[in-house]
Structure 1
């Protein structure tokens, strides 16, 4: 590996030496400030060079979010034909000009420099020359301490090795643990900010689940691998995490994903400044939709016991209502029958009273 990455060793060590020469004008050349700031400056220089790749990463991530519904439809349609599924996916990428690997470009581009710095610090810890660093520079770097921990020491180093670098094992482990915790927290916050503020929550896609999983996986990876990295590499890693967090905060605030929470907040800020004038019809439609949503009440879910009690009560009320209707109908019929009889009796009496038997004329008496 030293033969393959030899040119990168030279490049990384040369950059560190140049920054160290500058900071030696301000700090002691053997101090941790001079060497630590040299590593931080290396990170800043690399990240500035990677800004174009970061812009591509943002565009690729948004394109992937927009394509997730179509990708899911392809997976459902050809779930039993993996080859056809892959062909349709590649066709979709080609039609939309999307490259899934673009979202990984900054990480892939940093990897060679990260590995090179790791190897340079390992050579420094062993007192061996590396790249453009001669023996005097190597000895100076070995003496440099950051908060009491040598930049070439590791959490897993033995007490004798740490003592040979002029420190104690307790100091090294305390510093490495603090730096690993800060690395994990910065990575978690960066990923959480991406998930909660810069994702269109109206579209549920597998991409969101993947990002949510990474939000918890990356901090664990930092904790596992961090104990095997030299303090100088932890400085590099923590610096690049902080840079990524600040860079993402800037992008989310200035150019958020449409439909996301950050996008709505940006629109509100622009509206407050008078830079966005909305159509009155759109405002009324939005207010009507919000009012309808607020007025809509979702039915509350009841337990099985409550449903049974409610059903029994309803059945009882239904039975009582039916019985009441039956009684009312029966009572009404009786009243109608009775009234009919009374009416019939009156008419009969009237006929009897009104009908008079004709009086026969009296027969004249025989005279």
Structure 2
């Protein structure tokens, strides 16, 4: 709350220095919008990571669905654990995580809660019931309470609004907030998801649908208890996210999505206008497809050396026995192996077999123990 209060006051002073009137007025409204911009710029690296993780999560959906289909109907603990291990191996292979898409939201929620509490503290500060909060003195709190957005005071909400005009302004802000949230999710689903992910049986597709319809409805119910200042912050943030996502979808779309096809079409037309030949255009398109094929998990120094040595030995072997090498096998990519010489799938399989053996030994011990108890019981009865 102290940090949020200082950021708002510094931004207000900046806008006043640029010619806006001091005291109650537009400077306070713009300070809230400026707070939105500051927060969004701070979380921009996390947003970039979220976009990359979302793309990778969509690209690996066929592999994830294959694993889910493999363990469909198996409810025992061993099968569920085995499925989780194989899915984690797929996520590590592609350098993504199912939780990476939540990072920007997790970072922004404490800021939103702090802003809500700061706005709630202004009436108490202006009336003298509460001490100053950082730079927010009684005079500044009074100026904030007198500031309005189209006639609606910044510190009021739908329930405490003193006029119908304020309720109408709050209702419009809530509708804009819900509409921008819906369009953001709709844009993400319809333009930036590959056709393979647009399957109703796909859990990610179902999650996106729930968010597309559920979040706007939740906003409508939440809007009645949020102050006008918080609604301004949320609307500005949604508009920022909408524009930012539109830029990313246009310039860095997910491979296989509608936006990706539209971008490839624009690039082809641009290269044709430059006078490039058909062969040059096809070469550039193949390079674009290779770059968009997904992030390769980086290797450590030792693993890079081992991978290079294996590649060199394989090349020598292929040169010596070229006639015995099948073309399909030669195009198969080398699987990344660790220091133990195993891939992630082989390592997960060994862990599974080791646990099965441990359970079998524990089961045999329990059976032998029970058998000895029964034998001792028979002897005592005899």
Which residue number corresponds to residue 94 of structure 1? Answer: 92
Which has the larger displacement, 241-250 or 258-267?
Answer: 258-267
CA distance in 1 between counterparts of 2:281 and 2:140 reads 71
Residue number in structure 2 paired with 1:152: 155
Name which of 7, 26, 35 aligns with 1:15.
7
For 2:194, which of 190, 194, 200 is the aligned residue?
200
Per-residue deviation at 1:139?
1.2
In 2, Cα distance between equivalents of 1:155 and 1:277: 63
2:230 is matched with which residue?
Answer: 233
Quick one: distance in 2 between partners of 1:274 and 1:23? 45
Task: Measure the CA separation in 1 of the matches of 2:9 and 2:242.
Answer: 27
Q: In structure 2, how many angstroms separate the alpha carbons of the residues matched to 1:229 and 1:27?
A: 27
Q: Counterpart of 1:273 in 2: which secondary structure?
A: helix
Residue 97 (structure 2) pairs with residue 117 (structure 1): no
CA contact (8 A) 2:62 2:196 kept: no
Preserved contact between residue 16 and residue 38 of structure 1 (Cα < 8 Å): yes
Q: Which of 251, 262, 267 is the matching residue for 1:270?
A: 267
Cα distance in 1 between the residues matched to 2:266 and 2:9:
46
1:230-277 deviation digits (Å, cap 9, x = unpaired): 000000000000000000111111111111111111111111112675
Aligned residue-pair number: 266
* CA–CA distance in structure 1, aligned partners of residues 280 and 109 of structure 2: 52
- Post-superposition offset of 1:97: 2.2
Matches of 1:172 and 1:281, distance apart in 2? 58
Q: Distance in 2 between matches of 1:280 and 1:33?
A: 55
Asked if 1:256 corresponds to 2:248, the answer is no
How far is the alpha carbon of 1:280 from its aligned partner? 10
Alignment partner, residue 173 of structure 1: 167
Matched, 1:189 2:183: yes
Q: Which aligned pairs between 1:1-367 and structure 2 lie closer than 5 A?
A: 9-25=1-17, 26-78=19-71, 79-80=74-75, 81-126=79-124, 127=126, 128=130, 129-157=132-160, 162=161, 168-203=162-197, 204=199, 205-274=202-271, 278-279=278-279
State which structure, 1 or 2, has the greater radius of gyration over its C-alpha atoms.
Answer: 1
Distance, in Å, in 2 between the alignment partners of 1:248 and 1:94 is 26
Contact 1:125-1:153 within 8 A present in 2 as well: no
The answer to which of 238-247 and 131-140 deviates more is 131-140
Give the CA RMSD over aligned residues.
Answer: 2.1
Give the CA deviation at 1:27. 2.1
3-state SS in 2 of match to 1:257: coil
Q: Distance in 1 between matches of 2:123 and 2:231?
A: 15
Larger RCO (CA within 8 A; separation ≥ 6): 2
Instruction: Tell me the distance in 2 between the aligned counterparts of 1:277 and 1:130.
Output: 66
The answer to whether the 8 Å contact 1:32/1:146 transfers is no
User: Aligned partners of 1:225, 1:281: CA distance in 2, in Å?
Assistant: 51
Mapped partners of 1:210, 1:112: distance in 2: 24
Matches of 2:271 and 2:281 in 1, distance apart?
18
Q: CA offset at residue 221 of structure 1?
A: 1.1
Render the CA deviation track for 1:165-223: whole Å, top value 9, x for unaligned: xxx33122111100000001111111111111111114433312221221111111110
Query: C-alpha displacement at 1:152, in angstroms?
Result: 0.6
Aligned to 1:336: none
Runs of 4+ in 1 over 4 A off after TM superposition: 275-282
State the shift of 1:94 in Å: 2.6
Question: 2:271–2:281: 8 Å Cα contact kept in structure 1?
Answer: no
TM-score after normalising by structure 2: 0.66
Preserved contact between residue 268 and residue 281 of structure 2 (Cα < 8 Å)? no
Q: Deviations over 1:321-364 (max 9, x none)?
A: xxxxxxxxxxxxxxxxxxxxxxxxxxxxxxxxxxxxxxxxxxxx
Query: Equivalent residue of 1:221, what SS?
Result: helix
- Cα distance in structure 2, aligned partners of 1:195 and 1:171: 36
